[in-house]
């Protein structure tokens, strides 16, 4: 690769959650919804697309806006937001984008001649009599996932089942159906897929009930259904012998709080929803998900991890800073603090909500406005005991480490080579500064693959923008 790859893997100003990875013509495309920095609701921006060549996942290209919210005929004033989409290559060689508008009940379809668009509105998914799915007494559609099998049969998945909404009038469902070759018309009526939250107790899904984020992949002749559980922070998988068959729970793919990875039971990031899927890229399997930033649910960023698939089962991936890099990061150079894969306060984490992740907690944030190129994204408000963790580095030659901070902090940045019982490998004195200032100390670490955990110990607070190994 031309350069190293980090998490998040897109530029610091880009906020794309719900990433659906698709490989077309030797390129990996990411289709997701589009948050706004410091937004106040989900998905306030239009759909954009990014892509990279399969053989260089460091070389991401911005494909531009591919579909505007106002292109939907129900939304001329732009008052509704575009939620999580999916894209497939149709049997006619064109590309079809399936989406929903926030709390509206229908599934829209747009079409393009190229995977990167631009996409033009085509129609809504409809019953054979022409009535739009989601109207009348139909249940609300949500997070459509599209899948075309090798036999050219076309399947659509949809559903949403939040655990925290008890309104009996709120639709909760997990559905699957078959479409006609026109990509629009329902061929077989929607049927139940996974148990929703109220039906999961006593089933194999009791600990990981279906929430949303339907996505299907065919692997070695079996069908893998990817979804977000009602705990929100985790992506799970289930497997069936046919697209409309009975899916049996498989396990967890990834948790954006790293819960469950390597036996860990503690949330090591600020929790919130996640959404994504898996893709095999240049011979390797990756799981795509998103993280929370800015003390709320509405500025989420795309991440990915290499994941082990043994031919039948996926094994949960741990969250890292090196993601799709193909191995640990070099022990020389400057790294942005924003690539921390773990972030927590002295007292742990909360959900990523401003009323919970308050002034006692650190957070990822940025300077500048939404989509300003190269704003300074950083970790704000590290107070006594706050920790930022980075996995992994290959240490061979670094002998010094420096941090760049600002704020009222008067204390030390203590660096360890493990989260639990790690050796102190560096201790850097930091002092109050209203502008960014750099502080350095010797680094004493053995050769090998290690993480780095930076814990601020002292008075006041520090904002943390980068560190350098030399």
Token pair 């799709």 is found at: 324
What SS3 class is residue 33?
coil
Question: Which two tokens mark 448?
Answer: 């090998």
Its sign, for the CA torsion 317, 319, 324, 325, is negative
Instruction: Tell me how far apart the alpha carbons of residues 8 and 30 are, in angstroms, rounded to a whole number.
Output: 13
- Report the Cα 180 to chain-centroid distance in Å: 31
Question: Which two tokens mark 337?
Answer: 């603090």
Strand order in the sheet with 248-255: 210-219, 222-229, 234-240, 248-255
Of residues 18, 35, 234, 336, which has the active-site annotation? 18
CB proximity list for 282: less than 8 A, separation 6 or greater: 54, 55
Active site (annotated) includes residue 234: no
Question: Which two tokens mark 249?
Answer: 């729970």
Quick one: CA torsion of 23, 255, 370, 334, rounded to 10 degrees? Answer: -90
Instruction: Tell me how far apart the alpha carbons of residues 275 and 262 are, in angstroms, rounded to a whole number.
Output: 21
Instruction: Tell me how far apart the alpha carbons of residues 391 and 400 are, in angstroms, rounded to a whole number.
Output: 18
Of residues 14, 63, 143, 212, which has the active-site annotation? 212
What SS3 class is residue 457?
strand
Instruction: Tell me how far apart the alpha carbons of residues 324 and 326 are, in angstroms, rounded to a whole number.
Output: 6
CB-CB contact of 312 with 231 (8 Å): no
CA distances from 271 to 227, 259, 330, 353, 455 (A): 17, 10, 29, 9, 20
CB-CB contact of 224 with 217 (8 Å): yes
Question: Which two tokens mark 91?
Answer: 């049997």
Instruction: Tell me how far apart the alpha carbons of residues 296 and 281 are, in angstroms, rounded to a whole number.
Output: 32
Active site (annotated) includes residue 457: no
DSSP state of 466: E
Positions marked catalytic: 18, 212
């Amino acid at each position: 690769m031309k350069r190293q790859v980090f998490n998040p893997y897109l530029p610091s100003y880009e906020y794309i959650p719900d990433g659906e990875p698709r490989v077309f013509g030797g390129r990996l495309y990411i289709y997701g919804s589009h948050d706004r920095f410091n937004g106040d609701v989900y998905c306030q921006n239009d759909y954009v697309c990014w892509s990279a060549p399969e053989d260089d996942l460091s070389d991401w290209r911005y494909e531009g806006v591919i579909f505007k919210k106002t292109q939907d005929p129900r939304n001329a004033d732009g008052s509704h937001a575009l939620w999580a989409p999916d894209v497939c290559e149709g049997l006619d060689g064109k590309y079809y984008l399936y989406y929903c508008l926030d709390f509206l009940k229908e599934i829209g379809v747009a079409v393009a001649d190229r995977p990167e668009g631009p996409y033009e509105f085509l129609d809504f998914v409809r019953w054979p009599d022409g009535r739009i799915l989601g109207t009348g007494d139909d249940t609300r559609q949500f997070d459509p996932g599209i899948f075309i099998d090798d036999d050219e049969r076309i399947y659509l998945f949809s559903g949403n089942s939040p655990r925290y909404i008890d309104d009996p009038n709120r639709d909760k469902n997990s559905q699957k159906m078959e479409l006609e070759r026109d990509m629009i018309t329902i061929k077989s009526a929607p049927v139940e897929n996974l148990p929703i939250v109220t039906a999961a107790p006593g089933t194999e899904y009791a600990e990981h009930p279906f929430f949303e984020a339907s996505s299907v992949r065919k692997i070695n002749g079996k069908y893998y259904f990817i979804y977000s559980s009602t705990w929100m922070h985790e992506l799970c998988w289930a497997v069936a012998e046919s697209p409309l068959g009975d899916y049996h729970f498989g396990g967890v793919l990834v948790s954006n709080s790293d819960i469950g990875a390597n036996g860990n039971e503690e949330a090591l990031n600020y929790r919130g929803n996640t959404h994504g899927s898996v893709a095999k890229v240049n011979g390797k399997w990756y799981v795509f998900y998103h993280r929370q930033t800015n003390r709320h649910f509405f500025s989420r960023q795309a991440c990915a991890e290499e994941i082990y698939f043994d031919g039948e089962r996926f094994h949960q991936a741990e969250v890292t800073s090196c993601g799709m890099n193909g191995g640990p990061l070099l022990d020389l150079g400057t790294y942005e603090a924003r690539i921390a894969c773990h972030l927590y306060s002295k007292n742990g984490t909360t959900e990523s909500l401003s009323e919970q992740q308050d002034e006692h907690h650190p957070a990822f944030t940025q300077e500048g406005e939404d989509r300003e190129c190269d704003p300074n994204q950083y970790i704000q408000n590290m107070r006594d005991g706050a920790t930022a963790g980075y996995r992994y580095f290959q240490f061979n030659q670094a002998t010094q480490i420096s941090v760049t901070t600002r704020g009222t902090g008067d204390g030390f940045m203590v660096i360890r080579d493990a989260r639990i019982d790690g050796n102190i490998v560096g201790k850097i004195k930091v002092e109050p500064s209203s502008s960014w200032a750099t502080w350095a100390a010797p680094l004493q670490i053995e050769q090998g693959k290690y993480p780095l955990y930076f814990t601020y110990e002292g008075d006041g607070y520090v904002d943390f923008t980068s560190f350098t190994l030399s």
